[in-house]
Structure 1
Amino acid sequence: MKNKQLEIAIEASLKAGKVIMDVYNSKIEVEYKDDKSPLTEADTRANDIINTFLVPTNIPIISEENKQTEYSTRKRWNQCWIVDPVDGTKEFIKRNGEFTVNIALVTNGKPELGVIYVPVTKTIYVANVAENEAFKAQLDSHEVSIEAVYRAAVKLQPKALNSNPVQIVGSRSHMSPETLDFVDAIKNEGKEVEVVSKGSSLKFCIVAEGNADVYPRFAPTMEWDTAAGQAICNAVGIHVISKETNQELLYNKENLLNPWFLVSK
């Protein structure tokens, strides 16, 4: 599992988590971007810290909080980082703890490495797709060593197929009519359904660690919302399938908006 780029991403996520919690534990000031999405000091400060770790790798970065590079340049990249410094800003503002730091390394459009850090609980999810390895570690502090992260690692194990009830991941913030139709279709097969609600990229994590069967996302997401989560899922044999192409989601696309997708074995 040990990999230099992965360790850089782990360290960046932990340092970002520390500054995020500094803001979380003070008065949260909220601004709104042009698309009306919320932005806090935590997003900006975490992004700055992550950039200090990733820029020296000389691998280009796509981050929600960076100015986006034109596709005419991006299309020549065979590798890039994809970052969301605070995924789940709405959850951050609500102070429900369900927000994450997402860092992924993508090669030729496919997630290769992924780190998702949950600052409130100090839980980190780490994946190396090529090695089919993903783990979760419960940490004592945001300032632990890489070695301490590896020592605390517990391998992720998805659920077996054909469970009943079927646990479906739903969003706290948005359950689209199409998602409700998906739930009804499973019920019509005679199966019981349990909806598991989570915010941010934790929705990918709970499928990868066996606490849910499927995550249908029939609503908009951006590449930085999903790249790290897809790496974690792909590393343990969970697929993230585009409803447009019926193939795995791809990254560094001309349009950074994802198609709808389904996360399952």
Structure 2
Amino acid sequence: MITKNDINYLIDLSVKAGKAILDIYDSDDFGVEKKSDNSPLTKADKASNEIIERGLKKSFPDIPILSEEGKEIPFEERKNWKRFWLVDPLDGTKEFIKRNDEFTVNIALIENSTPVFGVIYAPAIEQQTNEDRAITTINQSANQINNNAMINTLNEWLHSNNDFSGVIYLGGIGIGAYKITSSGITPIKVSALTSSDELNVVQSRSHSGEEENQFYSNYKIKESLSKGSSLKICLVAEGKAEIYFRSGPTWEWDTGAGHAILLSAGGYFVNKDKSELVYNKKIIKNFGFIVSAFPIR
């Protein structure tokens, strides 16, 4: 069970990692390398991972960690894990290198193969828009009774971190889903639209193709939105889009935190064959998925 103190600590940890990323983002040297799968690795990935792993080991010594930039852990060692941290210290490294601001820090708690808590921090994203502020007021009023204790917890954190910038999304079983900016706390929820309505859909800046286009042809599309990293999942979680289809493979750490937030916001997250998406698989890849505000039939 995630406690109030745990939540505050995990937010602090993600922000600390995000600040380390920004220090390198503002420099002239990203220290870009190529990993064995030809994906990029930067000094920011390493710095963020060191902060997160050290922080998790200090406060949660009995919970193992599976991180993109951590050591490779054989399935024989992982297979009996009932609970573990799933970390992507810099999701959207390509977006980071392109300097388009759409990269995140992702931390998820997985229990019995299911994400039960997630925090996503986008340190370089600008302030919320006037539209977001209006939604904040409405959502806080509508959710005042059910979410008052959680909002108070998050407001306490925000008031004690008055230099905070960027955007945080978080959510978990039993606590709801939220968006944090320096302007306040917004309870978030998926859109109430259904598959027969005109929908906003999400497409990746870095990964898109014919299979995505074929999938979306089954729906009436109002607008196609583009984002990098796990911010695509957050667009559905906060009700700005209704569906996001990814045909190609991803790693479990790419989706764990966003999956937890989406479930907490009332959404659905399945493999592209519509089966349940689970974690700590023998091969820690997802081979395509669907994120949606409604069940996919």
Q: Which moved more, 1:193-202 or 1:225-234?
A: 193-202
Q: Which whole-Å CA distance do the structure 2 matches of 1:51 and 1:197 have between them?
A: 31
> How much has 1:208 moved relative to structure 2?
0.5
Matched residue type, 2:38: K
Match of 2:56 in 1: 54
- Counterpart residue number, 2:19: 18
Runs of at least 5 residues in structure 1 that lack an aligned partner in the other structure: 141-151
Poorly superposed stretches of 4+, deviation over 4 Å: none
Aligned twin of 1:124: 168
Partner of 2:291: 263
Distance 1:257 1:176 in 2: 19
Which one-letter code corresponds to 1:157 in the other structure? K
Pairing 1:155–2:159 present? no
Partner of 1:111: 115
Q: In the aligned structure 1, how far is the partner of 2:227 from the partner of 2:289? A: 17
The alpha carbon displacement at 1:135 in A equals 0.3
**Residue 137 (structure 1) aligns with:** 180
1:240 and 2:269 are equivalent in the alignment: yes
Say if 1:6 and 1:114, in contact at 8 Å, map to a contact too: no
Alignment partner of 2:91 out of 87, 90, 93: 87
In the alignment, the residues of structure 2 paired with residue 238 and residue 7 of structure 1 have an alpha-carbon distance, to the nearest angstrom, of 24
Shift of 1:184: 1.8
Q: What is the aligned-residue identity percentage?
A: 46
Residue pair 1:239, 1:248 contacting (<8 A) in 2 also: no
Change (3 A) 1:233 1:203: same
Equivalent residue of 2:270, what SS? Answer: strand
Cross-structure match for 2:143: none
Post-superposition offset of 1:8: 2.7
**Whole-angstrom distance in 2 between the partners of 1:98 and 1:166:** 23
Q: Which runs of 5+ in 2 are unaligned?
A: 126-165
Say which of 202, 213, 220 aligns to 1:180: 213
3-state SS in 2 of match to 1:173: coil
1:166 counterpart letter in structure 2: L
Q: Which residue of 62, 76, 90 corresponds with 2:80?
A: 76
Residue deviations 1:165-193 (CA, integer Å, cap 9, x gap): 3111000011121101012222xxxx244
Looking at structure 1, the residues matched to 169 and 221 of structure 2 have their Cα atoms a distance apart, in angstroms, of 29
Q: What amino acid does structure 2 have at the position aligned with 1:26?
A: S
- Equivalent residue letter for 2:182: L
Following superposition, the deviation at residue 164 of structure 1 comes to 4.3
CA displacement at 1:220 relative to structure 2: 1.1
Q: Is the 8 A contact 1:15 1:49 kept in 2?
A: yes
Deviation at 1:157, TM superposition (A): 2.1
Q: Whole-Å Cα distance in 2 between the matches of residues 107 and 3 of structure 1? A: 18
CA distance in 1, matches of 2:6, 2:80: 21
